[in-house]
Structure 1
Amino acid sequence: MRRWGIIVFFPFILPIFFWSVVIKSDPVGAEVRVGGICVGKTPLVLSNGTGLVEVSLPGYKAVTQVVHEQKQIFVRLLPTNSLLTFIKQEYVGSMPKDLIFTPDGRYLVITFMGEQGIGYYDMKEAKLSMVRIPQYHRYVGYVEGVFSPDGKEFWFTQVDKKGKVFVVSLSNWSIVKEIDVQGSMPKVGEFTPDGRYYYVTCWDSATVTVIERETYQVREILRTTGYQPRGLGFSQDGHYLYVLFYGSGEIIKYDRTQGHKVVKTIKTGGSNGRFRLHPHRNWVYINNLRRSRFYILDLSTDTLSAPYACGIHPSNLKLSPDYRYMVITCRGKDNSKGFAYRSPEDGTVELYDIKESVPRLLEVIKGGNQPIGIAISSDGKILAISNFMDGTVDFYLVDTERL
């Protein structure tokens, strides 16, 4: 079945289950109904019954789940006035990082830091498949990816000392190219506006690799003066390259027509992350993880807005395709042992109205442990969030009629 122009991923077949399934919710103490009959409150273990379960709590939106051989079902209950409606949570694998819907909306592509490849989740069949990369062990870190301008390929990075860029053909979900970036720990890649080149930052070597899309050949290595380059993007005419530096806390602008000459440096401090363009305003939204804030960079003047405070450690942000709202994932406080361990408390997901010049916070909901990846469907009505330390993805409906 279809809703709102995108394939909804629930096969509504009601099986009989004869295994134990644990029903959990946040908040706890929610009523669980099977066949309209209350069978207890969360957390609850069910051993048999029909396959349709409703979880509800006064003041919150009820959630219906289809039970089909799961060992555990988690429900995130949201207030009745929330702009979001929780659909389901899926366990997908170790350390899911980036999320992005395919251009046709059929699949959700998932990169993993802890798996031997990347995944693609079928939104119609509710099935996860993997693109394995057997020549490399687990935990080499597949970070982020983008689709080629023609929508036929998915290019993604491997953040390793001898990391690569991999190219997947969407026609058969196979690796068609493995590219040596000639740099250490590639992070974030983007295509130029004309689609001819793919630029990728290399975190450890402080370089940017330029790859020709048609030939898959490295054409240039840009050696930067910053430390730990992360996000990057371009002016809309493709004339300028902007690189965001996490370690040195700056944004550097390069002229692509003059051999990548530095034309401006903007100091921010902290740790800059993502470059999200709003083409109608010619603005870019940028998160600063360590300072728990975000900025707006006006590309017409290269001026940076005053910082906007947000949740603790914003790890990612994305704009809806119609540029009406923005989602920020905040991973929360670090573990005292280091950021690579589970956080002492779960993170948050923030929803902002960006129709006006000043972003307006609409809602904050709980996320899982270290929410990071964000995917928004082409119509803006399906939102997916990855929870890095839980190995899960949460799916939501967005009430765009109220935005």
Structure 2
Amino acid sequence: MSTSPAPAPASTPTPGTTQPSTTPTIPPSTRFKDPAGQLVRSVNRYATGRAPKQVAFTPDGKELWATLLGGDGVAVHNAVSGAKLAGIRLGRHGGAVEVIFTRDGKTAFASQMETHTVWQIDVASRRVRRNLDVEGAWTKVLALSPDERTLYAANWISHDVSVIDLPSWRVRKVIPTVHTPRGLYPAPDGRTLYVAGYENGELARLDLRTGKQTTLLRTGGAMRHLVGDGRRLYASDMGTASVYVVDLASGKARRLAKVDDHPNTIDLSPDGRVLFVSCRGRNNPKSYYIPGPEWGSVVVVDATTGRPLDAIVAGNQTTGLDVSEDGALLAISDFLDNRIRVYTIPPYQKLASGKGGFWSEHHADLAK
């Protein structure tokens, strides 16, 4: 499957600089009212920069960073109030795809497609420390090795993964892999990398020492994002509107659940019991950069059984998604609305006993 070019950046910025707060917060009187039965409850929604592709909580949960595919790098917000704290510019091409943090919360890494570049950012000062050409093409998803000494970067167009040694800040090697690699999951053993292939709906297991690759699943769809808990690996498939689960010990894969149209980003609750899935909704026939006939959504399912636990109807192309490390908050982005939404997550027991929450009713609200 092919991809359209990213929206053009709005300006030509200087790398590593911050900008004054311009994002308004939404006053309590106008906050989104959740429908009856929905168990995941709204905290706030607020504007961000152009085309927020991904959202990520800092490890302490205080800030939410949004990568602006059509804007200037990364927007930094107070996670709950939405107040804009900074804008981090990433060179003259501006836009960013993904951002991840080290466990201590001191360092962030952001990817930039057009320049096949990874940017290292100091979280406290919000300034760029350095950047690196990853020697691939159209760089998207990033992942850190368990010991955080290696950074992996998926290169969409060159069909490979860059292996970056962080102490020396150099590309150690580039490993060929599935067509249009996107999602990455480094296994706890430090020797295995799982890669999601968008073009053919493939999920591959890559031996990092030998480069040998084994295909665990091929759906013919469009495998997009991976997340795991060390025992199980989950994959979203945009082409089949499904999420799959792999037992890492046996390598056996199965479909966990059918979800809404065009599933994107997925994340697990910290206890590994709940899976959250953002879904873009049906595309506009002319272009997916134009709002389509359906609202985006988030589907909440039991990570073991696939049983629906709740659902959220959101805005135009709900794409980014992240769960805070304490499991208390869920953040999502509406890609075409330039908006972030934040929700509280109830305990698993409340979700499990909630009779599916808003799941059954939400289907009727997806069509515009």
User: TM-score band (shorter)?
Assistant: 0.7 to 0.9
Deviation of 1:305 (Å): 0.8
Residue of structure 1 in register with 2:35 after alignment: 78
* Residue pairs, 1:326-365, within 5 angstroms: 326-354=275-303, 357-365=304-312
Deviation of 1:264 (Å): 4.3
Report the CA distance shift for 1:345/1:269 in structure 2 as closer, same or farther (over 3 A).
same
* Residue pairs, 1:253-264, within 5 angstroms: 253-258=205-210, 260-264=211-215
Report the CA distance shift for 1:315/1:124 in structure 2 as closer, same or farther (over 3 A).
closer
Deviation of 1:287 (Å): 0.4
Residue of structure 2 in register with 1:402 after alignment: 350
Alignment partner for residue 174 of structure 2, among 201, 204, 221? 221
* Alignment of 1:301 onto 2:258: no
Cα deviation, 1:86-128, whole Å, max 9, x if unaligned, reads 1221011211111111111111111111111101112376421
Identical pairs, percent: 30
Aligned equivalents of 1:92, 1:212: Cα separation in 2 = 33
* Residue pairs, 1:1-400, within 5 angstroms: 65-66=27-28, 73=30, 75-79=32-36, 81-123=37-79, 126-133=82-89, 135-138=91-94, 141-160=95-114, 162-224=115-177, 226-258=178-210, 260-279=211-230, 282-306=231-255, 308-354=257-303, 357-400=304-347
Aligned equivalents of 2:82, 2:329: Cα separation in 1 = 14
What one-letter code is carried by the residue in structure 1 that aligns with 2:314? G
Which structure exhibits the higher relative contact order, with contacts defined as CA atoms closer than 8 Å and separated by 6 or more residues? 2
Report the CA distance shift for 1:75/1:263 in structure 2 as closer, same or farther (over 3 A).
closer
What one-letter code is carried by the residue in structure 1 that aligns with 2:229? H
* Matched position secondary structure for 2:209: helix
Residue of structure 1 in register with 2:12 after alignment: none
- Aligned residues between the structures: 326
Deviation of 1:365 (Å): 2.0
Residue of structure 2 in register with 1:57 after alignment: none
Cα deviation, 1:306-340, whole Å, max 9, x if unaligned, reads 35211111111111112231111111100010222
Cα deviation, 1:133-191, whole Å, max 9, x if unaligned, reads 263145xx31112112443111111111x321111101211000111011111010101
TM-score by length of 2: 0.83
Aligned equivalents of 2:266, 2:213: Cα separation in 1 = 26
What one-letter code is carried by the residue in structure 2 that aligns with 1:66? P
Deviation of 1:263 (Å): 4.0
What one-letter code is carried by the residue in structure 2 that aligns with 1:232? L
Greater share of residues in strand: 1
* Contact 1:78-1:86 within 8 A present in 2 as well: no
Which is worse superposed, 126-135 or 203-212? 126-135
Gaps of 5+ in 1: 1-63, 68-72
Aligned equivalents of 2:172, 2:213: Cα separation in 1 = 19
Cα deviation, 1:212-267, whole Å, max 9, x if unaligned, reads 1122211111123x211101112221121111100122122221232x22244532
Aligned equivalents of 2:87, 2:232: Cα separation in 1 = 35
* Contact 2:49-2:338 within 8 A present in 1 as well: yes
Gaps of 5+ in 2: 1-25, 352-368
Report the CA distance shift for 1:276/1:127 in structure 2 as closer, same or farther (over 3 A).
same
What one-letter code is carried by the residue in structure 1 that aligns with 2:149? R
Which is worse superposed, 172-181 or 333-342? 333-342
Report the CA distance shift for 1:134/1:123 in structure 2 as closer, same or farther (over 3 A).
closer
What one-letter code is carried by the residue in structure 1 that aligns with 2:350? R
Report the CA distance shift for 1:76/1:368 in structure 2 as closer, same or farther (over 3 A).
farther
Aligned equivalents of 1:377, 1:265: Cα separation in 2 = 30
Which is worse superposed, 164-173 or 340-349? 340-349
What one-letter code is carried by the residue in structure 1 that aligns with 2:136? G
Superposed CA RMSD = 2.0
Report the CA distance shift for 1:77/1:181 in structure 2 as closer, same or farther (over 3 A).
same
Aligned equivalents of 2:310, 2:344: Cα separation in 1 = 14
* Contact 1:117-1:130 within 8 A present in 2 as well: no
Structure 1 stretches of 4+ moved >4 Å: none
Aligned equivalents of 1:286, 1:197: Cα separation in 2 = 22
